[in-house]
Structure 1
Amino acid sequence: MRSEPLRFFAWNLGLPLAIALAIFAVFDLTSLDEIISNWLYYPNHEFPFGHNRLFENLTHRWPRIIPDLTGEAAIIGSILSFIWPLMKPGKHDRLLRLLEALRIAPLLRFTARYRRDFLFIVVSFAVITGMIHFFKSHTSIYCPVETTLYGGTMEKKEWFENFSLFHEAGPGRCWPGGHASGGFTMVALYFVARRHQWRHARAILYASTLLGAIYGTTRVLQGWHFMSHTFWAGVIVWISALLTALAFYGWRRLASPAVQAPGSAPPAPEQALSGLG
């Protein structure tokens, strides 16, 4: 039994911290970021797709719809989850029949049943966004195209050279990768899947990781991020989502999530009053 929490935290916290250390050693303490960006920049003294509007729309603006719609759906689900427990048999029978006739009742029962999960996604997205903005403002790192290395006017620095814990470090806002973090935020769905032991939980994890990596890499191609910015965004997002999931579910539910019996009936209004179960 003692090995169970150790195994859980080793994989979910220890491994990301080890990856962070590797990123620090491989990228931040070397010139690998510059080597990669130089390879992209020097052929024509500009970054590929840097001024391509179609590429910008396809890889930066339009893809935002995925995390944006997910967050909005979670907010709507959270709000709706409070409605069904208010429906009292005998007191709201007419309204209950109307909701059933309009096929709204199943949706309300669903949101009430999974209220904790909807709230987790909302809070997780907020925590992740807050942490990314905190590190952006408290490191004040400039993007490659803003530095003197690639035609800009600002000096290139590493995040740890400029980090300030208690106040903003300056106007730079490039570290970690914000666009990459938008894709990585979808890992919040993985923790929901882990809680309910959904069969495709790992597929959600891999898809979220791939999404964040694609988001970040396209910005590297445009000269708006160094490669390490994407990796750092992934680590920060994962730890933020993990800590939020631990606060909502506890490590036991994430390590050994309860399995819901197949075919179980949705809760009645009076049963849903617990809401957060």
Structure 2
Amino acid sequence: MQITINSISFIKNHLLLPLIAFVVLLLCMEFTQLDLWLASHFYNTELKLWPYREHWLTQTVLHKAGRYIVYTIGVMLLLCWLTAFRSKSALSGYRKHLTFLLLASLAGPLIITYLKSHTHIYCPWDLALFGGNKPHIRLFDAIDNRLTVGHCFPSGHSGLGFTFVSLYFFFLLVKPIYKYHGLVAGLVAGFIFGINQEIRGAHFFSHDVFALAICWFSSLLLFMIFFCRQFK
């Protein structure tokens, strides 16, 4: 079944409104102490440590096991994609859709990985404010050339969860009734991973918001490229 998409409505709801929300939230976090205020609730100032940094639930279950669960789902998606190219496969009619889903699921984490290796924004547990030795640098702050790369921004772990927002666009064409199920799956997974890392002291809330924006807009761009003929 060929589904036609109203381009004006689609752009407004999927690009303009999310972009405005992201910019407003970004400015709020950039020019307030929201990140520091949230992080301070998980840092023990008396003991000068993050109590849940190595906790079995936050470290072993939600961080390590959660990452492997996402990798497993990724392998399953790859197998589905390969199966779709076999003759007489039940998935052969979804080759283009599965190709989009595979690329969209990879795009966000890959972009985040690249940015993490080039930005000078540090994790909360690295900051002098929380027992570390690094300065608190925000997105628009000037950078001292002597500083090393932070390897912390945007959040890679929450990005693994937020990458599932690509399911929203996948179901939008394959099974529209399930599109919000896909969106909720991505948001829930991303925020569970993100909040867990905030509790551990690994990331600020802004790091997670940026990861979500990257996953959403990269999926949106690929969707518009792959299915441009279905816009009217």
TM-score (norm 1): 0.74
Asked if 1 retains the 8 angstrom alpha-carbon contact of 2:154 and 2:211, the reply is: yes
Distance 2:177 2:164 in 1: 17
Question: In the alignment, what sits opposite 1:131?
Answer: 111
SS in 2 for 1:83: coil
Q: Secondary structure at the match of 2:42?
A: helix
Shift of residue 43 of structure 1?
Answer: 5.2
Indicate if the aligned counterparts of 1:185 and 1:237 stay in contact, CA closer than 8 A. yes
What SS does structure 2 have at the residue aligned with 1:185?
helix
Matched, 1:67 2:47: no
Query: Which one of 1, 19, 42 corresponds to residue 17 of structure 1?
Result: 19
The residue type equivalent to 2:136 in the other structure is K
Equivalent residue number for residue 76 of structure 1: 79
How big is each residue's C-alpha offset from its partner over 1:70-121, in whole Å with a ceiling of 9 and x where there is no partner? 321222222222221xxxxxxxxxxxxxxxxxxxxxxx52232211122112
Measure the CA separation in 2 of the matches of 1:83 and 1:183. Answer: 30
* RMSD (Å), alpha carbons: 2.2
From 106, 109, 114, the equivalent of 2:89 is 109
1:184 pairs with 2:162: yes
Cα deviation code 1:142-173 (max 9, x no counterpart) = 1010111111111110123368xxxxx94211
Would you say 1:210 and 2:191 are equivalent positions?
no
Matches within 5 A, 1:11-50: 11-42=13-44, 44=46, 45-50=48-53
2:177 match: 199
Q: Distance in 2 between matches of 1:24 and 1:54?
A: 30
Kindly provide the amino acid, as one letter, of the partner of residue 57 in structure 1: T
Change (3 A) 1:110 1:20: same
Are the aligned partners of 2:52 and 2:200 in contact in 1 as well (CA < 8 Å)?
A: yes
1:233 maps to what in 2? 211
The correspondence of residues 49-60 of structure 1 with structure 2, limited to 5 A, is 49-60=52-63
Q: CA deviation at 1:220?
A: 0.3
* Unaligned ranges ≥5, structure 1: 85-107, 164-168, 257-277
Note closer, same or farther for the CA distance 1:200–1:78 as it changes in structure 2 (3 Å cut). Answer: closer
Task: Spell out structure 1 runs of 4+ moving beyond 4 A.
Answer: none
Alpha-carbon shift at residue 229 of structure 1 (Å): 1.0
In structure 2, do the counterparts of structure 1 residues 248 and 162 end up closer, same or farther at CA, with 3 Å as the change threshold? farther
The count of corresponding residues between Structure 1 and Structure 2 is: 224
Deviates more, 1:74-83 or 1:202-211: 74-83
* Equivalent-residue separation in structure 1 for 2:154 and 2:193 (angstroms): 13
Q: In 1, are the aligned partners of 2:62 and 2:196 still within 8 Å (CA)?
A: yes
Instruction: Verify the 8 A CA contact 1:148 1:154 in the aligned structure 2.
Output: yes
Tell me which amino acid in the other structure corresponds to 1:219.
Q
Partners of 2:38 and 2:163 lie apart in 1 by 26
Secondary structure of the corresponding residue to residue 25 of structure 2 = helix
Task: Give the letter for the 1:178 counterpart.
Answer: G
Deviation at 1:182, TM superposition (A): 0.4
| SS of alignment partner, residue 172 of structure 1 | coil
Percent identity between the aligned chains? 27
Higher-Rg member (1/2): 1
- Alignment CA distance shift 1:245-1:229 (3 Å): same
Q: Which structure 2 residue ranges, 5 or more long, are not aligned?
A: none
Query: Distance between the aligned counterparts of 2:24 and 2:100, measured in 1?
Result: 30
Distance 2:74 2:225 in 1: 19
